[in-house]
Structure formats: C-alpha cells, structure tokens
Amino acid sequence: MTQQQIHWRPAVLSIAVGASLLSACKDPQVDPTSTTSTTTPTGVVTDQEVNQWTLDSMKTYYYWNDKLPSNPNLGQTPDKFFGSILYKWDKTTRPDGDRFSWIQKNVDELKNSLQGIEKTTGFEFNLRLFPSGSQNVVGQVLYVLPNSPAARSGIKRGDIFNGVSGQTMTTGNYQSVLSALGSGNSETYTFVTADAVNRTVSNPVTKTLTLEQLSENPVFKDSVYTIGAKKIGYFVYNQFINGPSGFSDLTYDNQVDAVFARFKAQGVNELVLDLRYNPGGSTSASRNLASLIGKGVGSSEIFYRQELNSQIMEQYRKANTIANLQVKFTNKSQNIGANLSRVFVLTSDRTASASELIINGLKPFMSVQVVGDTTYGKNVGSITIEDERKPRRINWGLQPIIAKSFNKLNQSDYTGGFAPDQVVFEPVVLSPLGDIANEPLLRTAIGRITGTNTGRIATPQQTNPNVGSTLDRKAGGGNMFEPGMPKLK
C-alpha cells in the first residue's frame, strides 16, 4: 500500500444490517443527482477520486474481492460505481452473492445510525396493504420510543396511518410520499392516524410531529410471568447496540445484564426472547446477550468464528493468529442457562444479522425454538470504512460485507433465514407487547411452554402483505473484531 492508501484504512470495524427502508427512503443517503466533484475543507474532490478510494478499499476488505471487475468505470457517480462493482446476489446465478453492502454519502450519519442515533419522529412502522387485495397502503405502528415526539403526541403501538403531510398512500405513490421523511426537506410532518376496524380505517386523528435527534435504547421491555411451576422471562430487545456513545460504551449492555440479574433472582426457568423487530447490530452486544442465556457456556466455548477473504485469512495464518477469529462466550454471573433447557425466540422477516447470530450460536448448547416468521438470512458481517485523514478529504462512508460467521459446529447455512418451528404472523390490529392473552407471538410461545398450544394460538396466514418497513433502514452496527483480535493492515 502507498502512504495515502494507509490513511484510508478504517479505524472502526463494525458489523451491521445492510438493508434499506425502501428504495425511495434510502435515496436521501445517496444523492442520485451528485455532481462530478465535491468541495471539502481540503479542496475539490472528484467522483473519480472517491471511486478509486472505494475500489482500493474493496480490494483489501471485501469478502468477494476476487470477484471485483478488473477494469471498472471510474467515471460514474460514487453510488452507481459502488453498485457496479459488487458481487450481487442472484437467486439462480449467484446464490452466494452479496445482498447487504452499501455506500452512504455522509459517513458521520452512517456511524450515528450504527449507534441508533438519528433524526426521527420516534416510532417504527410496517407498510401494509389494507384492506387486503386493494391498492391502499397504511402504516402500522410497531412500537414508540419513550419521550419521543411520537410518544408525546399520543401515538401508540397498533395505530394505523394512511397519510403523511396531506398525501394518502397507495401502491403507486407510497415511496415518494415517504421519501421526504428524514431527507432534510422538512422537520415537521403530519400523520393521519386511525383505528382499523372491520377492515376499514375509521376515526382519523391528525398528529403533527417534529424530527428530533434521538438515541434509541434497545432494551425495550422485560417481564416475568408465573404460570404454574413455570417462571417465564420475557425480554424485548430491538437492536444490538452496546451504548449510545460508541462500541466502548457499555450502557445498554449493562442494562441487559440487569434484566437477567432480575430474571435470575426471580427463578426464571423458561425464556422468551423477542427479536421480531431486531435487524442486528454489534456482535459484542450479541455475545453479551448469548452469554447470559447459554447453557454451560463460558470463556472456553466458541460463540462464533469469522471467515474473511483469502488474502486477509492468509495474513492471520502467517501471523499464527487464526484462532483469534474465534469469538468465545464470556463468563457472566447473571447467566440463567443452568435453569434453562431451551429458549424461545420470537422472529419476523426483519430479524437479521446479530439476532440470527444468537440463534445459530446457541444451537450447539441448547434447544432454540423459533416462533414467528422466517428470519432474514444474514450470516455475513460488514465494516465501516471511512477516510481517516485530518481533515477528512472524502466524506463518503462504505459498509461492505467482509466476513461470514460460523457457530461452534461450523454451521452457517442460513442464507435463507431460520424457518420457524411454529409460523405466526402479526395481524393488522396489534396488541401491546407483553399481552400474554392477545399478542399472538408471545401467546404462542407461552402455549408451547405450558403445553396449552391450540389452533387459536397462531395466526397462520399473512392476510395483509407487507410492502416495506422502517426496520429495514436501522443499521445497528458493532465491533466486528472482538478484543484481542489483531488489527488488519
């Protein structure tokens, strides 16, 4: 590498979900009208310079670096260039390909999103056809962040909205209607929320919300239910983030530890882990959670191992440090595994990455029963690559896939996702999380625990198809390389 290239190496290696909300909702991150140059504090930077930096970085770190084109067109805008060099996934011709790498125009916004920090109204939602078979699109509120604009306005889980800022959503316009959210075009939006009753949207109420910079706490809810001899711990965890200030901030990890300390003190002997809205994130946060759950795990047992591209793997072999790509569980005094023989994981088709790492990593040690929908299927990890020169010359950020993960038994075959042991879909009208009588996923898991599982427990069909979700734009990043692993050069 030249001296200039050395300055380009990433300072932070992170694993994240690389899915966008919607094609239109992701566009504000990558400006399709980008000109051929950008003025920065260090002068004018051309798209060709950005593209050369991108190519050099991908040659070094990309998992499929042997599949990069030999003579790519450097004359494109950076977003189009990045897309042109990826080893893109295709169900038929490239089933081993890349579904997750992405580029973002502002690396600071990218890094903030990896820590759950962003300008937001404070609620997550799915987009669904309602009524089924129509062209009408409604937003279904999944959960609301405490003390957010949405919470202060009275928006709650289960609310339905069919319009934003005066425009009603249909299959033909919902992308353009939602594309303004978070784009910087405005800071205030109005939502027409309503009740979904008898397959109609009734009792509309207009809510006006202003964007705020928020840090989402992923430790969302925990409860203990006593049913006969069963002490059932229930934990809703919505993103793998160590803490709001970076990967060394363990604020949220400590809160997770406290939840399991309470579970242990109350004698929990069954666990329901709700990851239905968790698209992934920090592998060290995932390791922390797995270390609290696993039966017979500790610092001598492998949680997962990473496989990188052949050139980097050769560096590890030459340094005789290949064993450092094995990530071990940690010893946790709050671990409840001794009282568990199994764990129930609630999932959706947005459950991905570090969430799936939990499922795969725990399978060699205990029964992992999945309730819900088939998970996303992300058994690979990415890193954040930024220009480290001071002052920074290139403002773009890259998030390419660099590694594939395996559990203790060398299993990694879940690119199609983990299929549920019992299929359950959420209805349009949602019950509160933790409602053991009416919320279908939790009710099903408890029915399996208590042996009272009946036909009415499950929601076996998806009657109102999803067309998108804000969960897809949550990047939830973390440190790919655990403490003790050698830094790459």
Q: What is the pLDDT of residues 74-100, one digit of tens each?
A: 999 999 999 999 999 998 999 889 999
Tell me how crowded residue 410 is: count the other CB atoms within 10 A of its CB: 11
Residue 146 confidence (pLDDT): 94
Nearest to 422 by CA among 479, 352, 353, 370: 370
Tell me how crowded residue 311 is: count the other CB atoms within 10 A of its CB: 12
Q: What is the pLDDT of residues 139-156, one digit of tens each?
A: 999 999 999 999 999 999
Residue 40 confidence (pLDDT): 65
Residue 295 confidence (pLDDT): 98
Rounded mean pLDDT, 204-232? 93
Residue 203 confidence (pLDDT): 77
Residue 27 confidence (pLDDT): 27
Rounded mean pLDDT, 350-361? 96
What is the number of alpha carbons within 13 Å of residue 144 lying toward its C-beta?
20
Task: Say if residue 10's pLDDT is above 60.
Answer: no
Q: Which residue has the higher pLDDT, 314 or 119?
A: 314
Q: What is the pLDDT of residues 401-422, one digit of tens each?
A: 999 999 999 999 999 999 999 9
Grouping H, G, I as helix, E, B as strand and the rest as coil, residue 378 is coil
Cis ω for the linkage preceding 427 (within 30 of 0): no
| DSSP assigned state of 240 | B
Architecture of domain 216-382+401-460: Alpha-Beta Complex (3.90)
Pairwise CA distance, residues 86 & 102, whole Å? 9
> For residue 126, what are the contacts with CB-CB under 8 A and spacing of at least 6?
139, 140, 142, 466, 468, 469, 470, 471
With 0.75 as the threshold, say if the pTM is over it: yes
pLDDT band at 13 (very low <50, low <70, confident <90, very high): very low
- The H-or-E segment that residue 256 falls in is helix 251-265
Contact 182, 211 (CB under 8 A): yes
Task: Say if residue 489's pLDDT is above 80.
Answer: no
Report the 3 state secondary structure along 172-223.
Answer: CCHHHHHHCCCCCCCCEEEEEEEEEECCEEEEEEEEEEECEEEECCCEEEEE
pLDDT band at 461 (very low <50, low <70, confident <90, very high): low
Task: Say if residue 372's pLDDT is above 90.
Answer: yes
- Quick one: how many helices (H) and strands (E) in the chain? 12, 23
Is there a shared CATH topology between the 119-214 domain and the 216-382+401-460 domain? no
Pairwise CA distance, residues 412 & 364, whole Å? 12
The greatest distance separating any two alpha carbons of the chain, rounded to the nearest whole angstrom, comes to: 70
Pairwise CA distance, residues 14 & 16, whole Å? 6
Q: What is the mean pLDDT of the chain?
A: 84
Residue 455 confidence (pLDDT): 47
Tell me how crowded residue 169 is: count the other CB atoms within 10 A of its CB: 22
**Dihedral sign of CA atoms 110, 114, 118, 123 in order:** positive
Contact 382, 479 (CB under 8 A): no
What are 225's two structure tokens? 């239910």
Beta bridge partners of 270: 232
Residue 24 confidence (pLDDT): 22
Q: Which residue has the higher pLDDT, 5 or 345?
A: 345
Pairwise CA distance, residues 290 & 365, whole Å? 11
Nearest to 238 by CA among 441, 422, 20, 474: 474
Residue 441 confidence (pLDDT): 97
Cis ω for the linkage preceding 391 (within 30 of 0): yes
To the nearest whole percent, how much of the chain has pLDDT over 90?
61
Per DSSP (E only), the strands in 238-383 are 270-274, 302-308, 326-328, 342-347, 367-372, 380-382
Task: Say if residue 165's pLDDT is above 80.
Answer: yes
Residue 485 confidence (pLDDT): 34
Beta bridge partners of 44: 39
Task: Say if residue 265's pLDDT is above 70.
Answer: yes
Residue 367 confidence (pLDDT): 98
> For residue 484, what are the contacts with CB-CB under 8 A and spacing of at least 6?
324
Q: Rg of the chain's alpha carbons, rounded to an integer?
A: 23
Residue 30 confidence (pLDDT): 36
**Hey, where are the domains in the chain?**
3-114, 119-214, 216-382+401-460
Contact 252, 219 (CB under 8 A): yes
Rounded mean pLDDT, 303-332? 95
The fold for domain 119-214 equals Pdz3 Domain (2.30.42)
